[in-house]
Chains A and B, each alone.
Chain A
Amino acid sequence: MATISALADAVDALVHDGAEIALEGLGASIPVAAAHAILRRRPRDITLVGTAPGPAGDQLVGAGCVTRLVFARLDPALHRIRDALVAGWPAPLEIEEHTQAGMAARYVAGASGLPFATVRDGYAGTDLAAVTNAATVRCPFTGEELTALPALRPDLAVVHAQRADRAGNVQLGGVPGLRKEAVLAARKALVTVEEVVDELEPEHGAVVLPAFAVTRIAVVPAGPERHPGADPCDDGVDLAWAAVSGDRNRFTTWLEGIRA
């Protein structure tokens, strides 16, 4: 059952050196506050799993917390990840690259207790198949050759959601991304929310994660105000973060500020 606690306590309890941690969420649902709390905890040797790692993933890589990144898309503003890949700063970064759908299928397999996922598209005919963790499998019924991908079972999933009730049920809200899949695939889950209410109002399209699927809930301030219903494309490129991320010294100063 989900426990509601302070964010720093939740991170202390759940984030360990060497852990495989999934961060999911797009736009206003990026777990920004949780990423900062993880930076303060200074874990080492993390395998970071994130379909589109975003600024949160960029920060953890730039801080040297991550040795391995599993991902499908890098937004243009993520200079810390690129610096690690091209120049090895602050440390070399191992990658395992997939497609977005491949990541989704891997989470779904993990959440479903299956050892692997099958997909038809995304790997066949590309150069990705040869450089990532993928295999082919023959369908026992039709004989078709399909791509097999190992299930994802992260030690911890970290996502941001709109609100929870006091029992720990979580209403995700916003653009879904792969938050639900990551939480259900992971062994433990930390969900930050903007408010805790007595009772969740049913809301169209807002996925509810039951309390038994969540380990910890922490209340954090809402992210920057966004026009309701805004196309998430509109803030796909975080210009403010790009400026910090684009310069090693500015990033280092920023990181000291977060950790102060």
Chain B
Amino acid sequence: MSDQMLVTAARLLGDGEVCVAGCGPARRAARLARATHAPGLTVLGDDGTVDGVPAATAGAAEFAAYWLQGGRVDVGLLAADQVDAFGNVNTTVLGEYDEPTARLSGAGAAAEIATGAGRVVVLLPHRLSAFVERVDFVTAPGALTGPLDRAQVGLRGAGPVAVVTDLGVLRPDPATAELVLTEVHPGVSVDRVRAETGWPLEVADEVGVTAPPTAAEVAALRAG
């Protein structure tokens, strides 16, 4: 997983916030934020841990019911296998559900995070096979098919506010809810991002360039 991707995601987490992060890159990004600019970040794991330590008040049952459904989580980090133009996340199957070509990890807590957290940051490597116009299976809802859909279905949180990849950052257009390329990582061209995106990607008028990892961030990543 690229350092730049983890660092960029970590920077989107605020000091003092309550964050939910599953295992893998999501948890690494959250730990990195705690170790650097956000020492007051609380990291809830979907395995029933608080800041990595098993907690009786954060069992897997309490985790979803009290923290996420109860509306106590500011931000969720979601690792995706596939994402689409409206930020919907698939971690269930590739191909048809009944006859999948690949069986992925399933829902876990992804749908509750995408719904119950105040906002969501999605993480995945930017590859053409993973950036599709419409996901094979909506495991965790993004904007579904447009800007009004989440409210119509009764989903409370804002949903994905950023998709952070190893090439850059995409954010939903407030008017259309479709993802727009807003930042590239140093040395990455907009054309390269377009080439790895499976739909005609909207690009912001001014595309920013993310700051490279600082020495402190790299050290924190290496320390785990």
The complex places the Cα of A186 from the Cα of B56 at a distance, in Å, of 21
B24 partner residues in chain A, CB cutoff 8 A: 233, 236
Whether B54 lies near A125 (C-beta < 8 A) is no
Q: Tell me the smallest distance from the CB of A147 to a CB of chain B, in Å.
A: 10
Q: Tell me the smallest distance from the CB of A66 to a CB of chain B, in Å.
A: 15
Cβ of B144 < 8 Å from any Cβ of A?
yes
Q: How would residues 103 to 122 of chain B score, 1 for a CB under 8 Å from any chain A CB and 0 otherwise?
A: 11111111110011000000
A104 partner residues in chain B, CB cutoff 8 A: 60-61, 63-65
The complex places the Cα of A104 from the Cα of B45 at a distance, in Å, of 15
The complex places the Cα of A205 from the Cα of B50 at a distance, in Å, of 12
Whether A126 lies near B49 (C-beta < 8 A) is no
The complex places the Cα of A252 from the Cα of B68 at a distance, in Å, of 42
With A85-B103, A177-B59, A231-B49 already in contact, the answer to whether A125 and B150 are too (CB < 8 A) is yes
Cβ of B223 < 8 Å from any Cβ of A?
no
Q: Tell me the smallest distance from the CB of B110 to a CB of chain A, in Å.
A: 8
Whether A178 lies near B60 (C-beta < 8 A) is yes
The complex places the Cα of A76 from the Cα of B103 at a distance, in Å, of 9
With A100-B64, A101-B112, A181-B61 already in contact, the answer to whether A86 and B138 are too (CB < 8 A) is no
Look across to chain A and name the residue whose beta carbon is closest to the beta carbon of B104.
A74
With A86-B103, A99-B108, A205-B55 already in contact, the answer to whether A122 and B115 are too (CB < 8 A) is yes
Q: Tell me the smallest distance from the CB of A125 to a CB of chain B, in Å.
A: 4
With A101-B69, A205-B54, A229-B53 already in contact, the answer to whether A73 and B61 are too (CB < 8 A) is no
| Residue of B63, B107, B137, B140 with most partner-chain A CB within 10 A | B107
CB interface residues, B 100-152, toward A, < 8 Å = 100-112, 115-116, 137-141, 144, 149-150
Q: Tell me the smallest distance from the CB of A13 to a CB of chain B, in Å.
A: 29
With A125-B141, A175-B47 already in contact, the answer to whether A99 and B107 are too (CB < 8 A) is yes
With A71-B106, A126-B138 already in contact, the answer to whether A236 and B23 are too (CB < 8 A) is yes
CB interface residues, A 157-205, toward B, < 8 Å = 174-178, 180-181, 204-205
Q: Tell me the smallest distance from the CB of B92 to a CB of chain A, in Å.
A: 7
B105 partner residues in chain A, CB cutoff 8 A: 73-76
| Residue of A108, A121, A123, A181 with most partner-chain B CB within 10 A | A121
Cβ of A113 < 8 Å from any Cβ of B?
no
Whether B155 lies near A232 (C-beta < 8 A) is no
Q: Tell me the smallest distance from the CB of B9 to a CB of chain A, in Å.
A: 16
Knowing that A121-B111, A125-B155, A128-B107 are A-B contacts, what are 10 other residue pairs whose CB atoms are under 8 Å apart, sorted by A's residue number? A73-B108, A97-B107, A101-B69, A126-B138, A128-B111, A145-B154, A178-B61, A232-B45, A232-B47, A236-B24
Whether A125 lies near B48 (C-beta < 8 A) is no
A120 partner residues in chain B, CB cutoff 8 A: 69, 115-116, 154
Q: How many residues of B contact A (CB 8 A)?
A: 50
Look across to chain A and name the residue whose beta carbon is closest to the beta carbon of B106.
A73
**Which listed residue, B48, B102, B111, B116, touches A176 by the CB 8 Å rule?**
B48
B108 partner residues in chain A, CB cutoff 8 A: 52, 72-73, 99-100
Offer 16 A-B interface pairs, CB within 8 angstroms, sorted by A: A73-B108, A76-B105, A85-B100, A100-B60, A108-B61, A124-B154, A125-B154, A126-B140, A127-B137, A128-B107, A128-B111, A178-B61, A205-B56, A231-B27, A232-B23, A232-B47
CB interface residues, B 155-201, toward A, < 8 Å = 155
With A75-B105, A99-B112 already in contact, the answer to whether A124 and B153 are too (CB < 8 A) is yes
Whether B112 lies near A122 (C-beta < 8 A) is yes
Q: Tell me the smallest distance from the CB of A185 to a CB of chain B, in Å.
A: 11
With A125-B153, A125-B155, A177-B48 already in contact, the answer to whether A74 and B23 are too (CB < 8 A) is no
The complex places the Cα of A127 from the Cα of B140 at a distance, in Å, of 9
CB interface residues, B 21-55, toward A, < 8 Å = 23-24, 27, 45-49, 52-55
CB interface residues, B 78-116, toward A, < 8 Å = 92, 97, 100-112, 115-116
Among all A-B residue pairs, the 4 with the closest Cβ atoms: A101-B64, A125-B141, A104-B61, A233-B23
The complex places the Cα of A59 from the Cα of B188 at a distance, in Å, of 44
B149 partner residues in chain A, CB cutoff 8 A: 125
A204 partner residues in chain B, CB cutoff 8 A: 56
